[in-house]
Chain A
Amino acid sequence: MVKKISLILAMALLFPVSPGIAGEAVLDSGNTAWMIVATALVMVMTPAGLALFYGGMSRYKNLLNTVAMTFVSYCLGSVIWVMWGYTMAFGTDVGGIIGGLDHLFLNGIGVNDLSGTIPTFVFVLFQMTFAGITVALVLGAIVDRMKFSAWIVFAVLWLTFIYAPICHWAWGGGWMARMGALDFAGGNVVHINAGVAGLVLCLLLGKRKGYGREAMFPSSIALTALGAALLWFGWFGFNAGSQLAADGISASAFLVTNTSAAMGALSWMFAEWIFSKKPTLLGLASGIVAGLVSITPAAGFVNLFGSIVIGCVAGVLGYYCVSVLKHKMGYDDSLDAFGVHGMCGLWGALATGLLADPSINALGTGLFFGNPRQLWIQILSILGTASYTCVGTLGVAWVTKMITGGLRVEEEEEIKGLDSSIHGERAFEIEG
């Protein structure tokens, strides 16, 4: 997607407003139709997929709060993106760091403007759904204890100062794109970014009351499983849509996405069966997401064999991170935003550098196809993303704390549950 956009930009510069010249961008109705559908698919991932996936894993007394935080994240992402997010990510490049403010409130973008072969409006919307889900992913690390007001302020600042620049680096013609880093659909931009931000935020907030001592049962594994299914469904738009066209690479991205998800689910389930003695549905659902996260940066670059390897490793890695690593390190990443998204995103970004197959996509050649430099570029892009997110999230959280007078709810509210103490509602009304 990166190089495609650069190519389009280059072409726009070479042929400025010169109708009739060969190579002028023309709207392709097939591509446009697919991208409108793909955008709607990605949208479903946040308020339906992620909301159920996270909501089902949070405790019964915090289910609605988790869903509400997910909804509000998507709404904030939608509004911020069309106001200033898009132009900060895709406006005229300023030093490879950030986009200019030339498209503030989508200024200067009309109904006939094109990005490649699709209307710019569709491109703006497609990218908007990515911004919405990325900030929502972060909240998995901090549910059960963050103030709702603090979450809103944090999400606004984080989208503006962390997501938009990183999106620009990778996809808007910034330094990462120029360096040749491969991130097809968001290994760096979405998953490593959200995972590391989640880890930082959960360390700042501290553990939940009673963490490690009292039982913290998920409210409904059935909801989580349904959420995973909707994420899986939406992810076809996420990955196959990131080609911005209805073509062979898009089809290949679809194929490897489904394969990796299925492999991830199976390998997580078997790892859990062997080491924890039970094949849980939560494990299957988590493995699906681990497989999807890992294939995301690689989707348009790797072949079928690559996707089997990526998914297989993702399931075992995800299982290890959430069931061993987390408990050893002692941080309370409530729903494993870092363990699943951060770590599997990291694996996916590295795997892209190893397994990118030039016969699938000429834009990417990995180590195993004779280009060891790509792995190094991937490592640099991961380090760049992780360190900026880490420092930036600390800064954003600090400012949030100043504005809202603390990040964490009162102890009494936490014990009572955030559904009733913040929202005055309850998720279930069940009487025998």
Chain B
Amino acid sequence: MKKIEAIIKPFKLDDVKEALNEIGIQGMTITEVKGYGRQKGHKEIYRGAEYVVDFIPKIKIEIIVDSSLADKVVNKIREAANTGKLGDGKIFVLPVDDVVRVRTGEKGKDAI
């Protein structure tokens, strides 16, 4: 099993969610996060006082899938979240040891 973590632009969340629904991904967890990469921050000026806003709001999506689906999911996210500009985000793929469904106690693949 794999965990896919994608950091994307907040306004792309709905597109990504729909794209993943199309390939049968049933659930995801999202978090509002802040960060910066090559996009860098932006400047705000109040009465001449310049403040650099380094951290830009982003959305982090976390999805657990069977290893065989991982590439497909990554591609779907990439397609849906792409604007072609700096700051579109990153996708990380991590191995997952086990998954447990709280309600039934099912384990592994069945619990996804």
A336 x B47 contact (CB < 8 A): yes
Nearest chain A residue, comparing its CB with the CB of B51:
A215
Interface of B is mostly: strand
A282 x B47 contact (CB < 8 A): yes
Interface of A is mostly: helix
B53 x A323 contact (CB < 8 A): no
B46 x A218 contact (CB < 8 A): yes
Size class of the contact patch on chain B: 10 to 19
CB of A216 within 8 A of chain B?
A: yes
A322 partner, pick from B44, B47, B52, beta carbons under 8 A: B47
CB of B95 within 8 A of chain A?
A: no
B44 x A217 contact (CB < 8 A): yes
CB of A373 within 8 A of chain B?
A: no
**Contact status of A324 and B48, CB under 8 A, knowing A215-B53, A432-B32:** yes
B51 x A283 contact (CB < 8 A): no
| Cα of A218 to Cα of B47 in the assembled complex, Å | 10
**CB-defined contacts of A218 to chain B, threshold 8 Å:** 46
Q: Give the distance to chain A from B8, nearest Cβ to Cβ, in Å.
A: 17
Q: Give the distance to chain A from B76, nearest Cβ to Cβ, in Å.
A: 26
A282 x B46 contact (CB < 8 A): yes
CB of A416 within 8 A of chain B?
A: no
Q: Please, what's the 1-or-0 string for A260-288, where 1 marks a CB less than 8 Å from any CB in chain B?
A: 00000000000000001010101100100
**CB-defined contacts of A216 to chain B, threshold 8 Å:** 49, 51
A327 x B45 contact (CB < 8 A): no
A323 partner, pick from B32, B48, B51, B52, beta carbons under 8 A: B48
B48 x A217 contact (CB < 8 A): no
Residues on A close to B: CB < 8 A? 215-218, 276, 278, 280, 282-283, 286, 319, 322-324, 326-327, 336, 432
**Residue contacts A-B, CB under 8 angstroms, 8 given:** A215-B52, A217-B46, A280-B46, A282-B46, A319-B48, A324-B48, A336-B47, A432-B32
